[in-house]
Amino acid sequence: MSHFARSTSMLLLVLPLALAAGDSRPTRAASAPPPSKLVLIGTTDLRGETSPCGCHTPRGGFARISSVVDSVRRSGAAMVYLDAGGAFPDLSTRMDLADFMYSALRDMAPGAVGVAPRDLQLGLSAIRRFAADSRLPMTCANLLDRATRAPLFPPTRIVELPGLKVGVFALLGERFELGAARDSVVVIDAESAAHVAVTSLREQGSQVIVLLSQLGRVGGEDLATAVPGIDAVFLGHDVPVLEHGRRVGGSLVSYAGERGQQIGMLQLSLDGAGRVGDGTCDVISLGPDVRQHAAMLARVKQFEDAYNERMRHEQRLAQAADEADTDPIDHFVGGAVCARCHTAEAAQWITTAHSLAWETLVREKKDATPDCIPCHVVGFRKAGGFQSATSTPHLVNVQCENCHGMGTTHGENWVARSGPTEGTCRTCHSAERDPEFDFATRLPLVTHGNTSGESIRNVKARRERYRSGASR
């Protein structure tokens, strides 16, 4: 059973307690007794990842985050979902994606959302606009507008549950590069901002106080040690995954990693006044065994498919502009040319998964998405390489020249003559896309002597497994 399934069943065990302690009738927050348990779930640094990332074992994606948030919420537990910031993509040209990240986050009804340096890189007006459009409950305690010295977003947020006020504040590192927003904002000292925020949240009656940190691992831990009164911390900004979190000073700290591949889950027990007693922290890994939320999956697909179509259109425009250019002397020729002389290798290549690489992108509707194409074609964006499926149809799939080098240099100083090395494979079977890649065991699956079709059977069997996992 998956880790998530275990965590949920643990959660279900504590549920009757939570319900017994709370009041099932709708009552005003102030009059109800506090629940005996509070569940905090948090993500951070989604970095523009809408879909599962990784090709060998796809992890994460909004549809999985959403299904976890949703099932905890529907369990009836006293819960708050939080995001520590960093949802915006790496590429400053993807305004559409930044906008989508915020609106998809909004669908999961977070109690508060922090701000990361990367969210400021697109400029102040962009984050302001997307925050306003999405109506996300943004917060940051140490980020000011340089012109007015007023906080850019509310310095604290209070999430009211029956019988409980959960106070949330967020902090940004002072020394990080802020890109386009550099000259329009000021980041003030995190520690003094934290003291002010904690005091203000307590004065407003918060029984539980949570920090959304964009201070990095060391910065976040130092702050939790230096500032008393913080019950829980979600650590963001280049923080490694730590499966069971840690206690730092008086705080329980979640290290749930980035890109939405994991979710941090803190379960805090509360006393009669709603003050935090002990607690546990777990990281839920969002692997293929975690169900995908159907409505969110549809929303993500619609956004990504539209992007793929827009890129296809841009390819056509670029192609028309390129038509006048002369072809480079050296270029990729495509496997059909090699096959004229190397018939055995060509016949064997068809029996490997490399011959399916393009079909895969077409099936996923990612055949014009620039993030996906490079490793599934020959010579992407290189002179004489793949341009689009219509202008260079002979260069789709992983072919001879991906491993042996450009065909027009055949017979001269052909570097690939001695056969490709492990490094050649790893340009595509990279740490991000295929972290489980093992050269010694995978090479025999595609080597020219092997015509068994095993590599194709492997990918098809895996695809079936994930599909059945996703429909659960």
Residues that bind ligand HEC (CB under 6 A): 55-56, 333, 335, 337-342, 345-346, 349, 353-354, 356-357, 360, 364, 366, 371-372, 374-376, 398-404, 407, 410-411, 417, 419-420, 424-425, 427-430, 433-434, 442-443, 445-449, 455, 458-459, 463
Residue 177 or 371 with smaller CB distance to ligand HEC: 371
Residue 313 or 457 with smaller CB distance to ligand HEC: 457
Residue 192 or 427 with smaller CB distance to ligand HEC: 427
Q: Name the minimum Å distance from CB 303 to ligand HEC.
A: 13
Q: Name the minimum Å distance from CB 42 to ligand HEC.
A: 25
Residue 300 or 425 with smaller CB distance to ligand HEC: 425
Q: How far apart are the first and last CA of the chain?
A: 13
Q: Name the minimum Å distance from CB 393 to ligand HEC.
A: 16
Q: Name the minimum Å distance from CB 288 to ligand HEC.
A: 12
Residue 28 or 340 with smaller CB distance to ligand HEC: 340
Residue 31 or 418 with smaller CB distance to ligand HEC: 418
Q: Name the minimum Å distance from CB 461 to ligand HEC.
A: 10
Q: Name the minimum Å distance from CB 12 to ligand HEC.
A: 34
